[in-house]
Chain A
Amino acid sequence: MKPSENIEESIRERRYRATAEAYDKALGSFMQAVDDHEKQKAAAPGPHIWRIIMTSRILKLAAAAAVVIAAASVVSYFGGSIDGATPLWAIEQTIEALDDTRNCVISGTANGPLRSMPFKCQIESDDCLRYESDDEVYVIKGDLSHLYYPAYGEVVVRSGGDPTWYHKLMEIRLWASGSLLERLRTMADDWQETYADDIQTGRESVFVTCTYLDRSIWFQVDVETKLIVRGKLWRHVGMQGAPAYVAETILYNVEMPDETFDFVATPGVKVVSEEERKARSALFDEAWALDKKKQNGEAIELYQQIYEKYPTWQWAAWSLERIGDLNRLRLGRRDKAVELYEKIIREYPQLSYRLLRTYHSLGRCYMAAGRNDKALEAFETCLELGRQRNEQWFVFDDCKDKIAELKQALDREQ
């Protein structure tokens, strides 16, 4: 068929798609813009919620309706249930009970992209928090935040609060703060309460499920104390798969040492100041802008500077990998790329997530160079490193395809 015969259909069919890797990067860049925008929004003082309600006619009516419903609920609660089958509990009691607590300690499991690990989170009032897991330690006291990454051996200090961390930590605090629980009750969708006894303790409990901002939440309230005793949170709607956080025990009014919310850096840890954090971010942005414009030489120079000046920064290994990618994909220098990927493997053995990509890229280099045995080894190492990873990732599918292809080629060679 001549192209002119069905030209409209030909034009409709023209689809342009990014590779999975390019798509990941473009999406990552957009999500970074989202984060930056949210940070700016959080930094700017917004109108008070009451002012928003009172300036909107519809919201004013909705608020009035909510007050009437709340009042009706209270009346209903004090009246008790007729047949006595429903326990005497209302979420407002839990909000009040949480507000009366001095502090709490949440222990449980955090399921990261690569592995699951135990965490402990100590919370006192609304502005003191200490979260510890093998991967990260956050300490927030008032406006001062410390974020320590043991794998990178550096601690980042921030003042003036940090909305990114706040969002992460809010996920854990949802069960532990009266004010956040109140907000959750108002804003959540699909709120459901189930009354049952706790299988382990036999205590009367209420099991609550809801969704809030694309998170699914489950928590258990002890009817006698009115306090939340366990919780789970998924970062998607629907409770499939492993939750991002499982709060296995929540203890209230625990004796805590005075220095709990003081961050003390262990010897040998690099402390990154606010100025240094800004300087290295600016350098990275500049490198990325040049990279996007395909000014490869200049971009490589800046990525190299990032690696040399800030070797412990989490983006140093990324920068080195990007130099490898630019050599491989844009400059056709596969040998140089192999050299760089091997350098990452030597110098950053602790960064298992980064190494997944590095081994994948290394495999592709070797495969393109016809070194099938080395390529097979690299793809298999990538899969091995990703064995415990909790989610699907295109790299793994690609590795599996390439391994099958390489095995066939090696069989033919033999």
Chain B
Amino acid sequence: MVEDRLLIWRCRQGSRAAFRRIYEKYESDLRTLAANLLGDTAAAEDVVHDVFVSFLKVVGDFELRSSLAGYLKTCVANRARDYVRKRRGQSVTAADVERATPDDGPLRLVVQSEELQKVGSAMSRLPYEQKEAIVLYLSGRMRFRTIAKLQKVSVKTAHSRYRAGLDKLKLMLNSEVGK
């Protein structure tokens, strides 16, 4: 937190090194969050890039009220939702999650196990609001209160979306294993 305040102060002075440090510090978490929300690594890269560029533009007037990580994650969630809205009509399929290979485009998706691939595939079939609640809570490590604020719903609804999403995932995965 103290380091972030110092970095922001240095960013305001035009320190390239400070911007670089912020990028290096948060890029990986934000990329993971965006990729989990979108199921598309190329789109995730664009979203993360846009978030950093928009941070660059506002840093002059930026006031750090809570944590920088929280602010950046919220920006990623908002932009990811915008992206999905624009893309609505085109379905996000499991193939989107699995298609990235070392030689397929600039990003490499590191899938740690077959199970994780299956989870990703199942998540792509969830309603976006439920998937968002799950990803923000588990991958983004956000509180339900923050998720509720972001989704403009009550804390109870955010929690219900999370639970309902998890139940559906379990059902999907059990039926896949049973095949």
Contact = CB atoms under 8 A, between A and B. Distances in A.
**A and B: bona fide binding partners:** yes
Contact of A10 (B17, B31, B109, B119): B119
Main secondary structure of the interface of B (DSSP, over half): helix
A7 B16 contact: no
Interface residues of B, number: 57
A4 B102 CA distance: 28
B130 interface: no
Interface in B144-179: 166, 169-170, 173-174, 177
Interface string B99-110: 000111111111
Nearest to B60: A41
A11 B119 contact: yes
Given A26-B45, A37-B57, A17 B28 contact: yes
A13 B116 contact: yes
B166 A7 contact: yes
Contacts of B46: 292
B19 A22 contact: no
A325 to B, nearest CB: 9
A30 B23 contact: yes
In which size bucket is the chain A interface? 35 or more
A51 interface: no
B32 A15 contact: yes
A2 interface: yes
Contact of A38 (B14, B23, B170): B14
Contacts of A25: 106
Contacts of A294: 42, 105
B177 A16 contact: no
B10 A214 contact: yes
A29 B107 CA distance: 14
Nearest to B175: A4
Contacts of A13: 112, 116
Given A8-B138, A11-B139, A329-B103, A17 B110 contact: yes
B44 interface: yes
A213 interface: yes
Contact of A14 (B14, B15, B119): B119
Interface string A133-172: 0000000000000000000000000000000000100000
A4 B173 contact: yes
Given A11-B134, A18-B45, A330 B56 contact: no
B112 A15 contact: yes
Contacts of B15: 213-214
B139 A214 contact: no
A21 B106 CA distance: 8
A330 B105 contact: yes
B95 interface: no
A67 interface: no
Interface string A1-44: 11110011011111111110111011101110111011001000
B16 A35 contact: yes
Interface in B90-126: 102-112, 115-116, 118-120, 123
Interface string B1-40: 0000000001001111111110110011001100110000
Contact of A30 (B52, B115, B123): B52
Interface string A34-75: 110110010000000000000000000000000000000000
Given A22-B45, A214-B18, 14 more contacts: A3-B116, A4-B169, A4-B173, A7-B170, A10-B116, A16-B32, A17-B108, A19-B106, A22-B107, A29-B49, A167-B16, A213-B18, A214-B10, A332-B103
16 contacts: A2-B177, A11-B119, A11-B134, A14-B116, A14-B139, A15-B112, A16-B107, A18-B45, A18-B106, A19-B108, A22-B107, A29-B49, A31-B16, A33-B52, A34-B16, A235-B17
